[in-house]
Copies of this chain bind each other. A is one copy, B any other.
Amino acid sequence: MKKLLHSVSPALALVSILLLVCVASADEGMWRPKQLPELAAELKALGLEVDPESLSDLTAHPMNAVISLGGCTASFVSPQGLVITNHHCAYGSIVYNSTEENNLLRDGFLAADKSEELPASPGSRVFVTVAVEDVTDQVLAAIPEGASGAERYATVDAKEKALVAECEQDVGHRCNVRTYYGGLEYELIKQLEIRDVRLVHAPAEAIGKYGGDIDNWMWPRHTGDYSFYRAYVGPDGNPADFAPENVPYAPKHHLTVSPKGIQPGDFIMAAGYPGSTSRYRLASEAKNVIDWYYPTRGKAYLQWLDIINESTADNEDASIKYAGLVAGLNNTTKNYSGMLAGFAKSDIVERKTALEEDLQAWIDSDPERKRKYGAALADLRELIAQSQSEQARVLYYDTLGRRSSLLGAARTLYRLSQEKLKPDMERESGYQERDLGRIGQSLNSLERTYEASVDAAAWRQFILNYAELPVDQHVQAFDEWFGIEGNSVGEADLNAKLHSMYSNTAMGNLETRLSWMEATPEAFEASDDPFIQLAVQLYDSDIELENHAKQLTGLFDAVRPRLMEAMIAYNESLDKAIYPDANSTLRVTFGSVKGYSPADAVKYTPFTTLMGILQKDTGEEPFNAPHDQLAAIKNREFGSFYDEALDSVAVNFLTTLDSTGGNSGSATMNAKGELVGLLFDGNWESIIADWDFIPPITRTIHVDMRYVLWIMEQLYGADDLLAEMGIKTN
């Protein structure tokens, strides 16, 4: 993976479930900056030279210089709003600015001066954290005594919306409420939302994505995965849409780039916005993903792939439309099979089982603890069991059974017509005024991703799979529409029904789809379009399933913090700190520069060098480094960034840091807090790291800043940018 890819995100009802028990080991931990002072001894022992206190303030240096791009991390590296992130994080902006004549993706790009900096792709943002407020008491106080799961969910949802709305009164800011430890803590995070983001420099794809999908997840690695943006604001200093008169944003803080590099064994830390992890799930949860979730979903996705491949075989137009979905399904199934291979070698279920036993024994050994937490583990296990009893329906009905693009559009539109009857603040998330643009875009995108024959072929199979579900998991309205009785479905009748639906719908037409955005519920109910009719017919059951999922989520949100509180207390009794699962908030991970042994008699050393590019290069994508780069390496033009021990220039390096999707572009800093690299990937052996951090083999991969600087100096002559970052060259 590149760290951009967020980990698997199950349906809402299953999302935010579980906890349990992972005692932090030396390098494990995505720590909240405010926790670092507690870890001062360990940080110092590893070699940190600055005061851990200085790392704990999100609005001060260096943490304030670490910014979010929404899905990726980046850093300010000059007083003039210069931003560094991964090439794969700026990929969309590079593609957006590429034309056949001026192919920036292929050739790379360096703006000659600020006037030549290019607008990033639409929607690109830089988020700078300006305030963090603990709102736990406000959120929890709102929940009525004895609330049901559904009531609890609704109350928390409403309170969060209110807090966000109030916070966002401050124009130019985006606010989010983030949950920690499954609901034990809530924080309101306020970020400056910079909307004018421009592309400053990107290396050629053959550098920035060197090794491509083949090297993805792999070590040894030789990827120059960096790019530069610049953040612009209006002349008044406030966020503004792109405009020629805008000026570079002057960040309060920026990172110092160190050209000196690091050495094996050195202290290292990274700050970034990891998306989500599952480190505290129960043994029964781990067992379920191993035994059911990944294998069953993997199989279903492979079947889906087969159908798409078959039904697009002689249709190049359709095949292009489905290329994105095919790539996604391929990537996911490869990831699942890697995860399963990783789990097969792991004793995670046994370890979690043992930890749960220890925790329960500790709880039971004290009457007061037993009173408070005694039932938490059992309660949680029961909720998990209930959730798992529904997971086949979630997959075969909720996720795939309704998975026709036209039905999806019709359901969204009818739901929108219903939600529009309410005041904006009371609407379901996703159907508020702020969401209309996104809905329109999504209706629009069907033009490039929908083909009736492919949609119908896949949906037909999904309906057949759904029909095999136990009858008590069926949805009556759905059965009635397709004439499904018990588990039996007449294939000829189904084919005829589908043929008729696709023949008689106007939902394939963009104008028609968009026009329904303005319609009333009555108009839907009177329509004779078969997809609209089906959406109307399913509506009550859709709402029922959604409410049921909210009820379950509410129950999880009530039970989870109780067990997590016990967990934290238990670990405190062992003198161990506990970090919360990743939740897209700023975290710090620290450890050291270190290789590993992937197999008996094989050692991976922690640095790759320019020489490895010569070794790998075949001249064919993705191992087609630019000719001038190959020549520079052959001629040993190491310039200012030569490493004597390596007798070359360092390219990528390995650390023991703890990272996941969302960490891409994270500032990798030395013991002084200076920028020495950019985090961009994990190693193949850490594919199950979201579930299980295994110290001897879990590694994070970084691009060495010396490689970035070498490329800028030797290949692009980016002297102005180097000077802007205060880098002196020979």
Residues of A within 8 A of B (CB): 219-220, 222, 595, 599-609, 611-612, 615-616
Contacts and interface: CB of A to CB of B under 8 A. Distances in A.
Q: How many copies does the complex hold?
A: 2
B604 A600 contact: no
A611 B612 CA distance: 29
A615 B697 CA distance: 14
A616 B600 CA distance: 9
A219 B603 CA distance: 12
B601 A612 contact: yes
A604 B601 contact: yes
10 contacts: A220-B601, A595-B601, A600-B612, A600-B615, A600-B616, A601-B608, A601-B609, A601-B612, A602-B603, A603-B603
Contacts of A603: 602-605
A219 B601 CA distance: 8
A220 B602 CA distance: 7
A600 B633 CA distance: 14
Among A220, A601, A606, A608, the most chain B Cβ lie within 10 Å of the Cβ of A601
B600 A220 contact: yes
A602 B604 contact: yes
Contacts of A608: 600-601
A30 to B, nearest CB: 26
A615 B344 CA distance: 11
B600 A611 contact: yes
Nearest to A220: B601
Contact of A599 (B600, B607, B612): B612
Contact of A615 (B599, B607, B611): B599
6 closest A-B pairs by beta carbon, nearest first, are A600-B612, A220-B601, A601-B608, A603-B603, A601-B605, A600-B608
A602 B601 contact: no
Nearest to A600: B612
A165 B612 CA distance: 58
A475 B612 CA distance: 51
A601 B612 CA distance: 8
Nearest to A595: B601
A615 B612 CA distance: 27
A611 B609 CA distance: 30
Contacts of A604: 601-603
Nearest to A597: B605
Contact of A602 (B222, B600, B602, B611): B602
Contact of A600 (B595, B600, B601, B609): B609
Nearest to A651: B600
Contacts of A609: 600-601
Contacts of A607: 601
Nearest to A653: B601
Contacts of A600: 220, 222, 608-609, 611-612, 615-616
A35 B242 CA distance: 81
A595 B616 CA distance: 21
A599 B215 CA distance: 14
Contacts of A595: 601
